[in-house]
Amino acid sequence: MHADVRLTHVGGPTVLIEVAGWRLLTDPTFDPAGRTYAFGWGTSSRKLAGPAVAADALGPVDAVLLTHDHHGDNLDEAGRRLLPAAGAVVTTVPGARRLGGGATGLAPWASTTLEGRGRPSIEVTATPCRHGPPLSRPIVGDVVGFALRWEGQRHGALWISGDTVLYGGVRQVAGRVKVGLAVLHLGGVRFPVTGPVRYTMTARDAVTLLGEVRPHTVVPVHYEGWKHFQQPRPVIEREFAAAPRDVRDRIRWLPIGTPTDLET
C-alpha cells in the first residue's frame, strides 16, 4: 500500500508532516515577528514573519524532529513550549542532553524507530550537517538532518537536509539514502560580522547536491522570514531556472500555511 505524505510549510524550517496517521513536526518556530535573536559569536538576526499556522491551531504532534536546539530560527520560545506535549523529540546528541525530558539524541547515521499502534513504524536516521565553514563545528554546534523511511514509499525516503553548507558529509546522502522527497534548507545565510562566510546552502550549492542525490521531488524551506537570509525565493528561483532540466523539474514550492499532498 502506497502512503503519500501531506506537508504544511508553517514558515522558516517548520514543516508539519502527516503520513499514515503520523503527525511529525520539524524545527518548531512559532514566535511572532519582530524579535532579534542572538546566535552566538556576535551573530544575530531579526524575525521578519510569524508562523502561517499558530501553535494552538497546530493540533497534536506525535514527534518533533529537531535539527538543532541552540539557534532561535530553528527552535524559539513558543516552539520550545510545544516539546513536552510531543510524543517524542529526536535531535542531536548534545541537544538531547540540553533538552532532557527523554529526548533522543542521534549522531550522524544513527537511527531510531517511531512506533505507534495501528500505524506503520517510521525509521528516523540522522544525516550529516555542517552549519558553517571548515572547522566551525565547535563554534556553530552540532546539527543533523533526518531521513525517514516507512513501508509504502514509492520513490524513497523523505529527507530533511537540516541547516548545512555543501560539504563531503552531506554529500554522503547520495550514496547511502535513496531519496524520494527532499525538504531542503536553503537561504545562503551570512552575517556582517563574518563577511562572505556562508552558514547554509546557496541555490547553486543545492543544484550541485540535487544532481548527486537525485530525489523525485524537492521542497525548499528555510529561505524566508529572517533578516539573515541572503537568498530569498526570487534569487533561488533564478538559479534553479538555469539548472539542468532533470533538477529544475523536481522543484516544488509549497504555499506557506497550506497543506499539500506529495508522493514519497
Cα(254)–Cα(228) distance, integer angstroms: 21
Query: Looking at residues 149-164, what average pLDDT do you find?
Result: 97
pTM: 0.97
Rounded CA-CA distance 159/219 in Å is: 10
What would the pLDDT profile of 236-255 be if each residue is shown by its tens digit? 999 999 999 999 999 999 99
> What pLDDT is recorded for position 2?
54
pLDDT-derived band at 1 (thresholds 50, 70, 90) equals very low
Whole-angstrom CA distances from 87 to 8, 26, 60 are 19, 13, 9
Going 260 to 117 to 216 to 125, the CA torsion angle's sign is positive
Q: pLDDT (tens digit, 9 = 90+) per residue, 182-233?
A: 999 999 999 998 899 999 999 999 999 999 999 999 999 999 999 999 999 9
Q: What average pLDDT score do residues 4-25 get?
A: 97
Q: What's the confidence (pLDDT) of residue 153?
A: 96
- pLDDT averaged over every residue in the chain: 96
Please determine, for residue 47, whether its predicted confidence score (pLDDT) is greater than 80: yes
Whole-angstrom Cα distance, residue 61 to residue 81?
A: 13
Grid cell digits, residue 238:
533564478
Render pLDDT for 97-140 as a digit per residue (tens, 0 to 9): 999 989 999 999 999 999 999 999 999 999 999 999 999 999 89
Gap between the Cα atoms of 67 and 220, Å rounded: 16
Question: What Rg, from alpha-carbon coordinates, does the chain have?
Answer: 17
Contact 91, 99 (CB under 8 A): yes
Q: Where are the domains of the chain?
A: 5-255
Looking at residue 206, its amino acid is A
pLDDT digits (tens, 9 = 90+) for 69-98: 999 999 999 999 999 999 999 999 999 999
Neighbours of 97 (CB within 10 A): 12
- How far is residue 65 from each of residues 27, 163, 182, measured CA to CA in Å? 6, 13, 15
Give the CATH fold of the 5-255 domain: Metallo-beta-lactamase; Chain A (3.60.15)
Report the C-alpha gap between 226 and 213 in whole angstroms. Answer: 28
Amino acid identity, residue 101? G
CA dihedral 57→59→62→68, nearest 10 degrees, is 0
Query: Could you tell me if 213 and 182 are in contact, meaning their C-beta atoms sit under 8 angstroms apart?
Result: yes
> Is pLDDT of 3 > 60?
no
Report the 10 Å Cβ neighbour count for 191. 18
* Identity at 78, one-letter amino acid code: A
